[in-house]
Chains A and B, each alone.
Chain A
Amino acid sequence: MRLKVLLNRPFDRVNITSLGKFFSVFTLFFGIATINSGNNLLYMILAYLLVLLFASGILSTMNILFLKVAPETQDIIYKRKEGYILIKVSKSRIPGFSLYFCTKDGCTFVPEIKNNEITIKLPYVGKKRGIQKIDNITVYSLYPFGFAKRGREMRLNMDVLVLPDINRKVDKNGYYQKFALGDNSVEKRGVDGEFLGLARYRSGESLYHIHWKKSYKELQVKKFSTMEKDSVVFHLKEHPDDDEIDIVASLIHREIEKGKSVGLLVDNRFYVAPSTGSVHELGILRKLALL
């Protein structure tokens, strides 16, 4: 079984570092000097240098042997913005040290794994909206002596959902008028907005809002505006292009941050009723990402 693993392991990419090249050349010259001198104590050092090179190869091979990676979950990843994915890394039998796990967008350093499973964060930048596939990640290590950078491609097969870009500048160019179906502003009396004035107390109203100082004749209550302000529904065609989706996503993000209820209508496909909150925003963005 183990022999099978050894024989069928993926092909390692070995890049000799500048230190490795220097060490090899140095060993060669040292070897010539030693053979020429015939000094046995120098032979001892030469033997050490050679074994060090040999051990470097063996230990670095062992370091990435029996390594397994599996997808776990992902962070909220917006288009063109760095996020991260989480993967499970396990190593059986032999411990591994100083490993770098890399996607195309960056690496994460893992000091050691010993016979256990750990979860690591890998940086990821989504260049396109929608479901993106990460087929492979690269593992490499300079362990043990930094003579060679031994790396290997590892199959991950992970699907990552990349949300549309929400950081587009949408203040100018009349984007709001273009995509909003209309403002439905409603004046409502609320409890959590700005102070508007006093009114007569009606039965059923909260005692908490009674203005006791002004209530020496009859009970007066404080009037507040409502936080539930406006609601807006954005509209998209059946087959919008990426640019339009990004603009609408940015508009939705901006309006929800302002506190508006935001809805979305895509022709012949779906309608999302207006609402507020980050969960609602995420729901809309997911739908937009999958358009």
Chain B
Amino acid sequence: MIKISHLKKSYGVGESKVDVLKGVDLEIGAGETVALVGKSGSGKSTLLSLMAGLDRPDSGAIMIRGKNLNQMSEKELTLFRAQNMGIVFQQFHLISTLTALENVSLPLMILHNTEAEQKARELIDEVGLSHRSGHLPSQLSGGEGQRVALARALASGPSILFADEPSGNLDEETGERVMDLMFDLVKKTKTTLILVTHDKELAKRCSRIVMLEHGSLV
């Protein structure tokens, strides 16, 4: 499903240059749930951003479903990401001027799905927010916001779900409930999950834990 070879990434130039990833090799199979763990600055979020095509590596290759992300143009990469990947962010990042339903239907509409609204309603229902579908993000609680973000990430039926500290902004109880929902949905849809977290308990729920230290896998 995902094959990463000799992946390197650094930020800054000259003396302030920091090598964040120093030649990472990693393979992740379809349907696997993988937790990327490590201390702050270990490179886990950078690795996630490269795998999700949110950024470009300095060298190395990322193959997803047989396609090399590095060889894609920005436009091709954008389309590939929209069709194959979903992302959940720590800060939810819902569009403040769109309702919960519109936030969920947006990725489907970008892909010109003719049943976008219907499908979005089903997903909103699935995350238990059908009564809040017409509300704006500012009218939702943290847990509700992250559930909307989860529904949006899964809306286009991606084969991979990237989650960046998904419970980091939620209280323990709410976080747990949202994570239960995420793992249920991932299992149900047989989606590959790649999760960046500091939470050891959450990491343990994944089928594999990958540890990063100073830009390398350990």
The reply to whether chain A is a binding partner of chain B is: no
B interface residue numbers (CB < 8 A to A)? none
